[in-house]
Amino acid sequence: MAPSVRLSPATRSLFDEPLAIAVQGLGPRQQVTLRASLRDETGQLFQASAHYQAGDDGELDLARCPALPGGSFSGLEPMGLLWALQPQKPFWRLIKRDVQSPFLLQLEVFEGHGERPGRLLAQAQHERAFLRDGVRRVPVREGRIRATLFLPPGEDTVPGIIDIHGLGGGLCEHRASLLANHGFATLALAYYQFEDLPQKPNKLHLEYFEEAVNYMLQHPQVKGPGVGLLSFSKGGEVSLAMAAFLKNIMAVASLNGPVAATCIPLSYKDKTIPTLTEDEHKAKAINSKILDYSDVLDDPFQAPGNQSLIPLEKAEAQFLFIVGQDDRVVKSEYFATEVCKLLQAQGKQNFQILSYPGTGHCMDPPFFPLYPIGNHPVFQKRAVLGGELRAYSKAQAHAWSQIQAFFKKYL
């Protein structure tokens, strides 16, 4: 019998779901190389490969067979071919713009463990989708709000979450779409550099975000009395400010977010939170082309009564701080630890910190490739963002399940 690739689910799975991979019909203890390939929407190629040896029965099940040294990873890693995908173009990030179409994953089995791939023995294609059947994608242009709402199947009321991204601007839908598959009404919210929103805002007005909260709460499918916020980087700081100043925020999960205003001041009514000072001269050169910006932000905890700190003691919400210990953009672990000390000193216990070793600034849902070096969100120069492949893959999967559990508990 000719070798064949067996996948479960067979033809299509959600991007954040595990995929079982096996090869049948090999010779006893036959040595093979497996390669996974995926092209993004611009045509850029991402690949990972691993060396394996079939069992005595000619079967190779990635859930039971460890990868041998010499490929993109080694050891027992059933999903290694997906989490180890790396761009062929250096410093390129995998981004999903159109969540209505899947990524196409190509799996190939080659003979031997050579430098160059041997004879092709078997191959398969598989769709990695962002929307479960029945999830609705609704563009939102209400008042000033520019967003996309993802609604789970059915008419039941479900918890509502607003998803706020970082300083990249535009409208990011990949995380919100995946979260909606798990039973949340999720609003992917743009706040600048999108359609008629400001290109270069000199202030972020919390009234805009308040409009989004009110929109969610009046939606017939959103279960009140409040909403959750899922946020990353600059969005984390925005969501903390929303919890401090706005009503009806029940739970905030912040991924590598500052706890003080950075880059763009935040304002609500007659109050403005000024930004922390950033000193680009404190950047360190890793080599001639790559900089480390981890020390450029002023420490908001050094100056007592720092005006840039977000007054989290005013917030009623529950907080989940998710931080990468190797974050080189924001000192997110330090920020979260210090701000929780302040909350504790006020007698509050509405917070928890999840801290992940080997994890850098960019934290996406599971199986998005590691992005350890890329454009700095503020200085627009090539910078180290942090992270290490295997540790990051574990952090992604763990954090994603914890985020869902957190919102199920508090919404």
Strand partners, 387: 359
Burial of 78: CB neighbours in 10 Å, binned 0-12, 13-18, 19+: middle
| β-strands 373-375, 382-384 pairing | antiparallel
Active site members: 233, 327, 361
| β-strands 45-53, 31-39 pairing | antiparallel
Q: Which residues contact 406 (CB under 8 A, 6 or more apart)?
A: 251, 253, 318, 320
Q: 196 near 146, Cβ under 8 Å? A: yes
Q: 360 near 368, Cβ under 8 Å? A: no
Per-residue CA distances from 328 to 162, 194, 361 (Å): 26, 27, 6
Q: 125 near 104, Cβ under 8 Å? A: yes
Give dist(CA 192, CA 111) in Å, integer.
50
Per-residue CA distances from 121 to 24, 79, 111, 112 (Å): 11, 21, 7, 10
Give dist(CA 113, CA 31) in Å, integer.
7
Give dist(CA 275, CA 266) in Å, integer.
8
Give the torsion through C-alpha atoms of 328, 334, 340, 341, to 10 deg: -170
Amino acid at position 363, single letter: M
56 sits in the region (left: phi over 0; alpha: psi -120 to 50; else beta) called alpha
Tokens representing 18 are: 């595990």
Q: 227 near 216, Cβ under 8 Å? A: yes
Give the torsion through C-alpha atoms of 202, 296, 93, 136, to 10 deg: -40
Q: 179 near 240, Cβ under 8 Å? A: no
